[in-house]
Structure 1
Amino acid sequence: MKAGSRRALVVEDDAASRDALSALLAVDGFEVRTAATLAAARAAVDEDDALDVVFLDLGLPDGDGMSLVGRFASLPSRCAVVMLTGERRVERVVEAMRAGASDFLTKPLKPALLAATLARVAERLADRDEARRLRSELIGRGVFQGLIGRSPQMRRLYEQIERVAPSALPVSVHGESGSGKELVARAIHDLSRRRRGPFVALNCGAIPRQLAESELFGHVRGAFTGAQRDHAGAFERASQGTLFLDEIAELPLDLQVVLLRVLEAGVVRRVGGPREVAVDVRIIAASHQDLAAAVAAGRFREDLYFRLHVLPLEVPALRDRPSDLPLLVEHFLAEAAAAAGTEAAPTLSEAARAAVLGHRWPGNVRELKNAIARGCVLRSGDRVEPEDLGMPSVAPDGGGAAGGPREDGVVVPFGATLADAERLIVTAQLDRHGWRRGETAEALGVSAKTLYNKCRAWDLQPPDEG
């Protein structure tokens, strides 16, 4: 296995084993660093965490190597972690695997087993690199973990998601209804080291008040009228994974107190239950409301706010990223085709496309998705028309959905083709940015080369060069 510039860290206190393993890795093309203690291993990763594989001894002079498994497994590089142990207890191996280890070797090391392990590491790293390549390609096409868009706002959001995902700290997601807050939460979970655990979503605003405590923390049989069997709450169901609490601001104040206690103690007590149950959950809370304003108004506890508002993320409204509309429309049309079992996706008429481009979309991506789904079902011909989408009426004089001013100030006239609408938007952005193509390309969410090609195709020139 020629690993090129692969980087390895060997954490082993036995000098002979450490040197032998390091030599084999070097022959295999790895750049190898070594550490003989937990402290040295921590220092090594603090200095440089760009690792591809870590060989970690469980029995070290200053502590149990198990304490570092989680940290190594959650590094941004998503390195492989191979445990080295002289123990043969199955429970220790299981514990290491649950903590994030990808493989293990028993000591003394046997050449054949080591070779097989290195082959598995090579396969894992190849899979990781392929996943990175595909992710980069998808982001270039505007797709990231189920989120759609390649505007600057969405690219920043993707970067923030990748930064917060490896952490165990709570995340607070703010965004308007329908903007995709749950998709953001799922993306964080899927990119975290908890991705093998459950993802449980609970809408705090949709639970009747009398059932909220039971839904969150569970109940035992007979705890109240109708409680005919034991019920595990959202916290227990999400243990070892992620709990997404949507519309957290809707939670009653008395339950906010209980929630804060659970977050601080890491235990829940079912309604009517005699004992506490330990839970290991990462919290992602979301709201369309401004939680700081809710605190000021006395509707949300300040201590709970500070407990949850550790890693804040903002999901942009659809009207603030108009360049993503064509991509979203294409995606939802393809979804409609898949749902109908047809190979060819429906298409929008030019009038429908102009209506979509001109609409403000107060319900955000959810409203757009529902409109496209409705249009694909109700269309009478080959193409979806504005009335199929349930769009506001279109006035020939330029008013209504397709003729009103967009959020960015561009007026898309009635009957404009998609190409005409695109040219109007690009020209307006060029004017806004003083024809500085780099800034304009960033604002539109396209590459400078793409913008250059469009300007050349449309013969667009600065006013003083026309």
Structure 2
Amino acid sequence: MSLQKTSCDDRINLVGDDPVARSSNLRDAARVLHAVETGSRGPATPPALRQFGALYGSSAVMCALYEQVDKVAGTDAPVLICGESGTGKELLAQTLHSRSSRKAAPFIPVNCGAVSAQLSESELFGHEKGSFTGAHQRHIGYFERACGGTLFLDEVTEMPPEMQVKLLRVLETGTFYRVGGTEQIKADVRIIAATNRALDSAVQSGDFREDLMYRLAVVPLCMPPLREREEDIVLLAQHFLAQLNTQHGSAKTLSRMALNLLREQPWRGNVRELKNAILRAYILSDQTLTIEPQCRQRTSDPVLTSEGCLQIAVGMPLAEAQRALIVATLEHCEGNKRDAAERLGISLKTLYNRLALYDSQTIPAAA
């Protein structure tokens, strides 16, 4: 069969004498003609989950982060990663390491909150035999183990104050001594630190040295919370489910209700909470996964309205704060949706779409 499209009337001519072939050709031609006339190229391809090093995400905030990582990874500048618990700060640190010139050398993670104050110096810098009671042999610390590579200091604000002074000294001189040693050792490592606290608050409270903060935060990076990456939520859930299916040789799927619920939950525990929710649903469900709305069963943060003002507690999830603002504005406009949309700076259609998600809340009738 050959298809010929004329330039005059966009008709498709069929060439072929076999009746059976002609019948088949007619069906094929009809499909082609429909595609030509409508511009259709078949069903839309669903968005794919982008992988970038150890990170996954296709949202705008994640793509912007990937661009920053590409610029920073090739340098030895200290990086400070901020972000809530469960966002994937260590995965970001691993990605920085894997895309750097140090990728063939070790990546050594250290949880600063898990190292005792008494042993922190020995753990970081090592010690010589006999340097203190119980030091029966030489111990190589994290700095030496990470030689040529990357040392990741997780929860760095939990580091004891006396160790902060010693770490600052190493960052300034690029050298250190083992406990009880006299040999000066070069600190050939790239430092990446992370915290889930606001560093300014830690400095103001006296828990963290201001000069060390400036040394570590040469390049600050922020891992966005999951509620700011709404486009990634379903993609990540499907990714985690695919991993479980591959691991266990199953073919479980997510129900439509589960997908809707995944989009609506606040995910205060971020990606870690989402991953655990999928694992829990996988274990408890048969072929189709259902998600329990456990994350929404909590006491809401206080929202106060008074004389046209809205007071929202610091730390309230963004989705809940947005909902409170929309509802309060609508009440202030006495239920006039068009007026409320104008005040909020959104289209009337967007407001209706948002209210459809808030159907469990009492909304004033339209004026």
TM-score by structure 1 length? 0.53
Instruction: Tell me the CA shift for residue 348 of structure 1.
Output: 2.2
1:347 to 253, 262, 281: 253
C-alpha offsets along residues 258-316 of structure 1, whole Å, 9 cap, x if unaligned? Answer: 00111112222122223222221111111111112222222211111111111111110
Instruction: Tell me the CA shift for residue 393 of structure 1.
Output: 5.5
Q: Secondary structure at the match of 1:338?
A: helix
Tell me if 1:186 matches 2:94. Answer: yes
Provide the rounded CA distance (Å) in 1 between the counterparts of 2:125 and 2:318: 49
> Does the 8 Å CA contact 1:178/1:366 hold for their aligned counterparts?
yes
User: What does residue 37 of structure 1 align with?
Assistant: none
Tell me if 1:337 matches 2:245. Answer: yes
Tell me if 1:269 matches 2:174. Answer: no
* Matched AA of 1:236: E
Q: For residues 221 and 405 of structure 1, do their structure 2 counterparts lie closer, same or farther at Cα, with a shift above 3 Å needed?
A: closer
* Matched AA of 1:206: A
Instruction: Tell me the CA shift for residue 405 of structure 1.
Output: 9.9
* Matched AA of 2:213: Y
Provide the rounded CA distance (Å) in 2 between the counterparts of 1:258 and 1:193: 27
> Does the 8 Å CA contact 1:355/1:391 hold for their aligned counterparts?
no
Larger Rg: 2
* Matched AA of 1:367: E
Provide the rounded CA distance (Å) in 2 between the counterparts of 1:193 and 1:333: 34
Q: Secondary structure at the match of 1:210?
A: coil
Provide the rounded CA distance (Å) in 1 between the counterparts of 2:240 and 2:214: 38
Q: For residues 307 and 436 of structure 1, do their structure 2 counterparts lie closer, same or farther at Cα, with a shift above 3 Å needed?
A: farther
Provide the rounded CA distance (Å) in 2 between the counterparts of 1:385 and 1:435: 33
User: What does residue 327 of structure 1 align with?
Assistant: 235
> Does the 8 Å CA contact 2:113/2:155 hold for their aligned counterparts?
yes
2:199 to 291, 301, 320: 291
The 5-angstrom pairing of residues 33-48 of structure 1 reads none
Provide the rounded CA distance (Å) in 1 between the counterparts of 2:233 and 2:57: 8
Instruction: Tell me the CA shift for residue 198 of structure 1.
Output: 1.0
Provide the rounded CA distance (Å) in 1 between the counterparts of 2:71 and 2:345: 32
Q: For residues 152 and 408 of structure 1, do their structure 2 counterparts lie closer, same or farther at Cα, with a shift above 3 Å needed?
A: farther
* Matched AA of 2:88: G
* Matched AA of 1:382: Q
Larger deviation: 175-184 or 355-364? 355-364
Provide the rounded CA distance (Å) in 2 between the counterparts of 1:284 and 1:304: 13
User: What does residue 16 of structure 1 align with?
Assistant: none
Q: Secondary structure at the match of 1:386?
A: coil
2:219 to 288, 305, 311: 311
> Does the 8 Å CA contact 1:347/1:383 hold for their aligned counterparts?
yes
1:367 to 256, 273, 276: 273
* Larger relative contact order (CA 8 Å, sep ≥ 6): 2
Tell me if 1:215 matches 2:123. Answer: yes
C-alpha offsets along residues 399-444 of structure 1, whole Å, 9 cap, x if unaligned? Answer: xxxxx99448579xxxxxxxxxxxxxxxx9xx9764999xxxxxxx
> Does the 8 Å CA contact 1:361/1:368 hold for their aligned counterparts?
yes
Aligned length: 268
User: What does residue 386 of structure 1 align with?
Assistant: 291
Q: For residues 260 and 323 of structure 1, do their structure 2 counterparts lie closer, same or farther at Cα, with a shift above 3 Å needed?
A: same
1:301 to 186, 194, 209: 209
Tell me if 1:196 matches 2:99. Answer: no
User: What does residue 32 of structure 1 align with?
Assistant: none
TM-score by structure 2 length? 0.67
Provide the rounded CA distance (Å) in 1 between the counterparts of 2:151 and 2:184: 19
Provide the rounded CA distance (Å) in 1 between the counterparts of 2:149 and 2:143: 10
Provide the rounded CA distance (Å) in 2 between the counterparts of 1:435 and 1:393: 30
Instruction: Tell me the CA shift for residue 391 of structure 1.
Output: 5.2
> Does the 8 Å CA contact 1:179/1:315 hold for their aligned counterparts?
yes
Q: For residues 189 and 435 of structure 1, do their structure 2 counterparts lie closer, same or farther at Cα, with a shift above 3 Å needed?
A: farther
C-alpha offsets along residues 111-163 of structure 1, whole Å, 9 cap, x if unaligned? Answer: xxxxxxxxxxxxxxxxxxxxxxxxxxxx9642211211111111110000001
Provide the rounded CA distance (Å) in 1 between the counterparts of 2:347 and 2:194: 38
Provide the rounded CA distance (Å) in 2 between the counterparts of 1:275 and 1:231: 14
> Does the 8 Å CA contact 1:320/1:407 hold for their aligned counterparts?
no
Provide the rounded CA distance (Å) in 2 between the counterparts of 1:152 and 1:291: 26
Q: For residues 197 and 304 of structure 1, do their structure 2 counterparts lie closer, same or farther at Cα, with a shift above 3 Å needed?
A: same
* Matched AA of 1:151: S
